[in-house]
Chain A
């Protein structure tokens, strides 16, 4: 009781705000994955290191890590340029673009393109059905092409196009 009576309201605010400060800094450090490189290498500290592994981004958004543009590149590396083509039931070849699906560039690239590249079959079927419902047509084949550009010191040169993945839709539906 005597301790409580000595508690000044200002001190209470300072204590509360200190918790807020520690929370914000703590959670940003926690999500900043690459700062884990500073963690001491003592064996005794490896258990809490593993225990404190942050969930993948963006589960704690707006607290996220910032791993942008982090891979080193060298002369001769290829810049990937993907294009997605569909064969319709009347044998027409069409280039599928974000606006055809009513999505923005990011949803298109990280949704459809990544699904094709990483063989996420359920997502591919969803995108196929989305396209079919918008254009009242039927897709029978879907292909992901890469039109690579080779990086040189002061220019880029076009390389041979590559067929990255191909999906006959009927087979995809059966599976």
Chain B
């Protein structure tokens, strides 16, 4: 019984270890932000075939004989019992809902629910567009699969408003700031979505390489093949680089070999993750190159490459390098832990303090420890709920302390110039003061 039992449990153990090993949730959250953000960009900004709105409107004006709905579109629209193309008003409403839910999914508000709606909305919109000529339906397919996988995962467990709200609530209840390192928070459920999207990439590239090798054999790399397709697409889409490259026979031979080797061996990254530092830059060049030369719209794959990057490890390494460089004299934030507003601000700053560039001290428990900065601040100043002491010794209070702190938090860098604009600065300062006084 026991050997038989082992035979069954060993593969299962291997399977669960492979897919459900503890992995930083940070990696998954960054991938969510990049993939959802880029898809929102795609929905809002005009592409090769115009904006999504114009494509929906144009397609809705096409005659019914061109409408050949994809099976997945029929399934999604089945509850509505639509036997004709859906009305444009409905499609535009779905697009608006998709953009709203995508934005919420991006910032992590009710993340799972919003990501599910976002994924279904995107699939419906794309399937509708492709229902009028489906032979060009490849470029969005992998993105749709990725969105759906992310929606089923705990992608909003960190780096989300949901998580930030939860932490603020906890800190306010505890009347203290629990310092946390969100890059190092791990989950057994953070690995499978990233790995699964990686597997999708590997299968797709291998399929593409095999199709070339089975149909064309080694002749595919004779240079003429690539030149042919470069001439064809370059002329259709008027791509000067494609047309120039089409005349370079030796370069075409070289590019063909690189393309086929890249596609045929990409799956090695699944077994040797360090190879990403070779394959991902090559993939970015590959897709950018075919976009510039042939107008092939596979740039959407580049944001999906984020699933290969060990983001938490990268942030940790940058942080460690700073410490080794000796640039560790951090600005110090001194705060009043009895003040709820202050606890909220500190939790937010601490949430984005990925590179440990700020140090936090609450004056109630720390002033006895007598740090240099504490000694320099008069007792009256302690009554200010938030105080920033810069390495140069200069000090900021209240809103100015908050704004200055943003300079030390790379994820919030963009906010600093915005809050420095004269009009916005004044409004923000007043808002900050009113919130402070409400406490």
Contact = CB atoms under 8 A, between A and B. Distances in A.
A126 B135 contact: no
8 contacts: A18-B19, A21-B192, A32-B203, A34-B211, A58-B70, A67-B208, A68-B138, A106-B135
Contact of B19 (A17, A28, A110): A17
Interface size grouping (class) on chain A: 35 or more
Interface stretch (B85-93, B140-148, B161-169, B335-343): B140-148
A62 B49 contact: no
Interface of A: 10, 13-14, 17-18, 20-21, 24-25, 28-29, 32-35, 37, 57-75, 77, 79, 81, 102-107, 110-111, 123, 126, 130, 149, 151, 153-156
- DSSP class of B's interface residues: helix, strand, loop or mixed? helix
Contacts of B220: 70, 72
Contacts of A151: 224, 227-228, 231
A70 B137 contact: no
A65 B66 contact: no
B208 A62 contact: no
Nearest to A60: B71
Given A13-B189, A62-B72, A72-B224, 18 more contacts: A17-B152, A17-B192, A20-B152, A24-B149, A28-B199, A28-B203, A32-B207, A33-B207, A62-B123, A62-B144, A69-B229, A71-B215, A71-B225, A72-B225, A73-B228, A110-B133, A130-B63, A154-B247
A99 B104 CA distance: 37
Q: Which 10 A-B pairs have the closest CB atoms?
A: A72-B216, A32-B207, A72-B219, A34-B210, A73-B228, A62-B141, A66-B208, A62-B144, A34-B211, A107-B133
B211 A156 contact: no
A82 to B, nearest CB: 11
B215 A102 contact: no
Contact of A156 (B145, B215, B231): B231
Contacts of B236: 105
Interface residues of B, number: 68
B62 interface: yes
Contacts of B247: 154-155
A61 B70 contact: yes
Given A35-B203, A61-B130, A107-B132, A17 B141 contact: no
Most buried by A among B58, B203, B217: B203
B140 A62 contact: yes
A66 B203 CA distance: 10
A14 B222 CA distance: 48
Contacts of A74: 219, 222, 224
A107 B58 CA distance: 12
Contacts of B432: none
Nearest to B20: A14
Interface of B: 15-16, 19-20, 49, 55, 58, 61-63, 65-66, 70-72, 123, 126-127, 130, 132-138, 140-142, 144-145, 149, 152, 188-189, 192, 196, 199-200, 203-204, 206-208, 210-212, 214-217, 219-220, 222, 224-225, 227-229, 231-232, 235-236, 246-249, 296
A34 B211 CA distance: 5
Contact of A103 (B66, B71, B149): B66
B95 to A, nearest CB: 18
B267 to A, nearest CB: 11
Given A35-B206, A64-B141, A71-B216, A58 B130 contact: yes
A10 B16 CA distance: 12
Nearest to B71: A59
Contact of A61 (B132, B141, B296): B141
Contact of B207 (A10, A66, A103, A110): A66
A102 B61 contact: yes
A65 B308 CA distance: 22
Given A34-B211, A68-B138, A106-B136, A61 B127 contact: yes
Contacts of A32: 203-204, 206-207, 210
B49 A28 contact: no
A100 to B, nearest CB: 13
Contacts of B133: 103-104, 106-107, 110-111
Nearest to B144: A62
A24 B200 CA distance: 8
B183 to A, nearest CB: 24
